[in-house]
Amino acid sequence: MTVTSASPVTGAQYDIAAGEYQATVTELGAGLRRLSRGGLPVIVGYDADELPPAGAGQLLTPWPNRIDGGRYSFAGASYQLDLSEPAHGNAIHGLTRWASWRVASYADNAVELALDVLGHAGYPFCLELRAGYRLTPHAGLAVTVTALNRGSKTAPFGTGSHPYLLAGHGDIDDWQLQLPAARWLPCDDRGIPAGDPQDVTGTPYDFRSRRPLGGLTLDHALTALSTDADGRARAVLAGPDAQVELWAGPGYGWLQVFTGDTLAVGARRRAVAIEPMTCPPNAFVSGADLLTIEPGATVSVHWGIQATLS
C-alpha cells in the first residue's frame, strides 16, 4: 500500500520572498493567498486548506465581475454561461479561479503559473493564460497577467484581481482612502450596471483627495482613472499600521472597491477590496472596454501592491 500525504484544498503552495516582503501563491486559481511586509499582513489571507473567503486574492479571467443572466452575444453568435452566482442569476468572476494551474517557472522571489482554457460551455474559445507574481525589496509585489489566443476565433476577454487590502486591525471607518477615479458606475441590486458612469464630484464616491471612509458602504466600480507619469493609476489605503498602495498599469481602466459590509459577521468592514479590472461589470453584454484577442495575438496587463509600515 502506498500512503501519500494529504494535499490542501488550494493545492501546491508557492512561497516567494524579497527583502521584508513575503507572499504565497496557490495552484488553485493562481490565487494570492498571502502577502506581508515585515511580518505584517497587507492583504486578507487564509489557510492553505481553506477555500478563498469571499474571493480573497483570486484571479478573475476571462472576465471579472458579473455577466447579467450569463447571456451575451459576440461576433454574431449568442452564448449562455453557467450561473455561478445563482442567488442573483449571474455568471461571476470568470472560469479559472477554481482550476488547477501548472507551474511554468519558480524562483526565490517569483513564480509564474499557466493554464490552458479550452472550449467551455458559453465560452468556446482557446486561451493560454499566464499569471506571474514577483517580489522586489523596495517595490513590493508586481503581477503580470497574460492571455494568448491559441484558437481559430477572435476571443472576448477581460481580467481582474480580488485582493482585500489591510492597513491595520479592527474597523475600517477611521482608515483613509484615496482613489484616482473621476467617475462611478451606478448598478442595480444584482450588481449589473444601471446607467452610464457618473461624475464623482459632489457624491460620496469622490476619493480623489484622501479622506476617512467613515461609515460609507462601497461596492462600486469606478473609472476615468488618473495616472502618473509611468502610466500607473494608484489607490492608497492608510490605517494605523500601514499605508498600502495598489497600482494598476495600462489596460486596467477600472477599480471595484468593496468595504465588505455583506460579508460574514467578523469579516465585515475589516479590510477594503480594491480590485483592478480591465472592464466593468457586464462588459460581455455592453462591450464597454471589452478586450478582443485575435488568433495568435497576446494581451498582457500589470498591477501590484506596495506597503509602507507605520
pLDDT at 43: 98
Global pTM reads 0.96
pLDDT at 2: 44
Q: Give the C-alpha separation, 89 to 110, whole Å.
A: 38
Q: Is the dihedral of CA 181, 184, 189, 194 positive or negative?
A: negative
Q: Give the C-alpha separation, 54 to 52, whole Å.
A: 6
**Domain extents for the chain?**
13-309
Q: Which residue in 49, 85, 50, 56 sits closest to 68, CA to CA?
A: 85
Report CA Rg, the chain: 19
Q: Give the C-alpha separation, 172 to 156, whole Å.
A: 37
Neighbours of 195 (CB within 10 A): 9
Own/partner long-range contacts of 193-202 (Cβ < 8 Å, ≥24 apart): 193/221, 193/280, 193/281, 193/282, 193/286, 197/223, 197/224
User: Are the C-beta atoms of 142 and 131 separated by less than 8 Å?
Assistant: no
* Residue pLDDT tens, the chain, 310 long: 344 568 999 999 999 999 999 999 999 999 999 999 999 999 999 999 999 999 999 999 999 999 999 999 999 999 999 999 999 999 999 999 999 999 999 999 999 999 999 999 999 999 999 999 999 999 999 999 999 999 999 999 999 999 999 999 989 999 999 999 999 999 999 999 999 999 999 999 999 999 999 999 999 999 999 999 999 999 999 999 999 999 999 999 999 999 999 999 889 999 999 999 999 999 999 999 999 999 999 999 999 999 999 8
- Using DSSP, state whether 283 is helix, strand or coil: helix
What is 13-309's CATH number? Answer: 2.70.98.10
Q: Give the C-alpha separation, 100 to 132, whole Å.
A: 15
Q: Which residue in 68, 63, 98, 88 sits closest to 80, CA to CA?
A: 68
pLDDT at 6: 80
pLDDT at 1: 38
